[in-house]
Chain A
Amino acid sequence: MKPFLREKVPVNFEDVPDTTSFEAGYLVTKNAGWRNVRPVIDTAKCVGCLNCYLYCPDGVIFKKDGKVAIDYDFCKGCGICKKICKVQAIELEAEK
């Protein structure tokens, strides 16, 4: 389950936790700003083997409604998923 993401990370003294054990996702926000290319899955070609899930260094591959999907809030666009895909179901598209 993906934690709730705030638009901005709390930076006020009172809002920052006292310890480093706290509600998951509290100090996390979208982190994909430097992505130049985005992987796009052709769900018609995808056979759901989840090889991309095993190799993704950022852990952003997940399943949505039974189909493989990508969490673009954290995907850095490295392209490993495209390389590892055995059925060429993933293409990289330039970010605009």
Chain B
Amino acid sequence: MAKQFLSGDEAFAYGIRLARPHVISAYPITPQTIVVEKLSEFVEDGSLKSEFIHVESEHSALSCAIGASSVGARAFTATSSQGLLYMAECLPYAAGGRFPIVMMNANRSTALPWNIYGDQRDSLSQLDSGWIQAYAENAQEALDLALLGYYIAENKAVSTPFMANLDGFVLTHTYEVVDVPSQEQADEFLPLFETENKMSLEKPKNLAFSAGPDTNSIFKYKEHIGILNAKSVIAEAEGKFEAIFGRKYTGLTENYQTEDADYILITLGSISGLVREIVDKLRKNGEKVGLLKIRYMRPFPNEEIAQAVKNAKAVAVLEKDISFGNEGAVYTNVNSALQKAEINIPSSNYIGGLGGKNISPQEIEDIFAEIKSGISDIKFLGIGGV
């Protein structure tokens, strides 16, 4: 293992090099560009032996990856924002075809107004596309998700594409010290991609066929079971990961000071780091507050959330997303988890960080102060000239 000073994008590219995909097809888009640049450099200097396909669009990028995966190749692509939306048609193709592609998405706002900065409306709008969705908090987790992603996606019981999300700029462009594992360690963790989907003259296959009303529900149900199977495979993957690399991950969620907490803030992605600091600060003042970080939006951690908040007096969800005309998508999912577990406590939604708007420490303190009121509310941060 070697320590390097890397941005989130670079860290992810190093993780992908360790995973040794056969095919990389990608189209550059801010703030994902560095991943594509870095990987093309790796291919150029010979340190990564992959077929690097320069495509003309994101739609083609994922289509290429699907084609490669369908005949047995390990495939990678990356995108962001409008690029993700442009490839949206192909997302359910990859998921329905059960092609274990890994994709990095740099979370970025969607137009209009045009904006290149970070929020999570791009990926959260694609929750129903059938992909596993993970959210990294830092560059180290980003690199690790590249390896974990293939391990989880390629498990036969899962066979589901994996989307690793990094907050645009906050993660993709900021630098930190990252442990880069050796190739030997990575090979020990991640076995070669074994699939029945091989181009074969002896056993020719019908690829990406249609299925009418009589069998379609069965295909969709099996797809659903596949992504649910990821829950146990994520645990298995993280166990093996810790044994080899010494870094521990905590499954679909990560709890911080939630055990005796009266008030819990639920969030995802890089903002979790700031919330953790505020929890520490408020704890020093004797306030029983905690953080629940969602690491995976699909499969959704219904049981984990219910278990973590069952003794709390109130919760709030802080997210960089709004499902216009309703509320944040994460909030909707969290409330469903609470309702199913018959947990009836006030639950508020804070929508912040849209279009890269900074979320300040004071705003997080204010959220903790407000949720004590016992009122459930949906509020936008950053609209009052903060």
Contacts and interface: CB of A to CB of B under 8 A. Distances in A.
Interface of A: 3, 9-11, 13, 16, 18-28
Nearest to A8: B214
Nearest to B218: A16
Contact of B206 (A9, A11, A23): A23
Contact of A19 (B159, B214, B221): B159
Nearest to B198: A21
Please provide the 6 A-B residue pairs with the shortest distance between their CB atoms, ordered closest to farther: A24-B206, A19-B98, A16-B218, A21-B197, A20-B97, A11-B214
Interface of B: 70, 96-98, 159, 196-197, 203-209, 211-212, 214-215, 218-219, 221-222, 226
A16 B98 contact: no
6 contacts: A3-B206, A9-B212, A11-B215, A16-B218, A16-B219, A19-B97
Nearest to A1: B204
Contacts of B206: 3, 21-26
Given A19-B159, A20-B208, A25-B206, A9 B215 contact: yes
Nearest to A12: B218
B211 A13 contact: no
A45 B97 CA distance: 46
B160 to A, nearest CB: 11
A18 B159 CA distance: 9
Contact of B97 (A3, A16, A21, A27): A21
A25 B206 CA distance: 7
Contacts of B208: 20-21
Given A18-B98, A23-B205, A26-B206, 12 more contacts: A11-B218, A13-B221, A16-B215, A18-B222, A18-B226, A20-B98, A20-B219, A21-B206, A23-B206, A24-B204, A27-B209, A27-B211
A20 B97 CA distance: 5
A9 B132 CA distance: 31
Nearest to B197: A21
Which of the listed residues B96, B197, B218 has the most CB atoms from chain A within 10 Å of its own CB?
Answer: B218
A88 B74 CA distance: 52
A23 B209 CA distance: 10
Contacts of A27: 209, 211, 215
A3 B206 CA distance: 10
Nearest to B219: A16
Contacts of A11: 214-215, 218
Nearest to A26: B206
Contacts of A18: 98, 159, 222, 226
A19 B222 CA distance: 9
A23 B212 CA distance: 17
Given A20-B208, A26-B206, A9 B97 contact: no
Nearest to B209: A20
B218 A19 contact: no
Contacts of B97: 19-21
A18 to B, nearest CB: 6
Contacts of B197: 19, 21
A62 B211 CA distance: 25
A91 B306 CA distance: 70
A42 to B, nearest CB: 34
A20 B212 CA distance: 13
A13 B222 CA distance: 9
B292 to A, nearest CB: 34
A92 B134 CA distance: 58
A20 B196 CA distance: 12
B275 to A, nearest CB: 40
A1 to B, nearest CB: 9
Given A16-B219, A16-B222, A22 B214 contact: no
B130 to A, nearest CB: 12
